[in-house]
Homo-oligomer: A and B are copies of this chain.
Amino acid sequence: MPTTEEKDQPRRRQARGERRIAQLLEAAATVFTTTGYTAASTNAIAREAGVSPGTLYQFFPNKEAIAIELGDRLMHEMRETYGEALAPVDPTTPLEEAVGSAVDRFIAFNCEHPVFFALMHGPDIPGRITEEHDALHATLLSRIEDLLSSILPDTPPADLARTSHMCLGMYKAGLELVLAHEGAERDAYVQELKNALIRYLDPLVGARLGHPDPS
């Protein structure tokens, strides 16, 4: 049957390319994690992937494109793994639980994908915002905004944005600390991060969300 032929042939070819891309992204993840985004070289990535520099450029036009694709896949996997459910379905979930589970998932994801951290920090000149950094950032931000808007429904958008930015900043700062420690100490930092976020958000939540009326 020519059907299988005609369908499988191209599929296999594409498959090889897909495999290479995956392999290159994996290598890039390793290199970015090891040396940081700025210091990472395309040659090093190619070497790590066991291919020639030319091969890398057959799939990516430059370093940033790699980072962008890597970021995209990361975000995609995040969504696959944890669903859109960073936002709690039930708005009566207590803040502790909402934040706690979000942080836990965030941390877990990061430990599985250490590149995430490297990509989020990028070349780190306050002004220069690179695309991939920005893409990751924006995606995370909007997810946080979603979550927050569900538990802070009456907040004006500008405040919501600011609060989201703050939460993301705290997340990132906390993550750095978490990753820098191990074992019990790491757990303690996870708890601190949760505390910081919960306490920061608590006054904004008001009496809704199952909190006893403070009066």
Contacts and interface: CB of A to CB of B under 8 A. Distances in A.
Q: How many copies, total?
A: 4
A180 B39 contact: no
A172 interface: yes
Contacts of A199: 199-200, 202-203
B123 A36 contact: yes
A125 B31 CA distance: 11
A179 interface: yes
Nearest to A125: B36
A173 interface: yes
Contact of A166 (B35, B162, B193): B193
A118 to B, nearest CB: 7
Contact of A162 (B37, B39, B118, B189): B189
Interface of A: 33-39, 114, 117-118, 121, 123-126, 128, 162-163, 165-166, 169-170, 172-174, 176-177, 179-180, 185, 188-189, 192-193, 195-196, 199-200, 202-203
A177 B169 CA distance: 8
B162 A169 contact: no
Contact of A195 (B33, B195, B200): B200
A169 B176 contact: yes
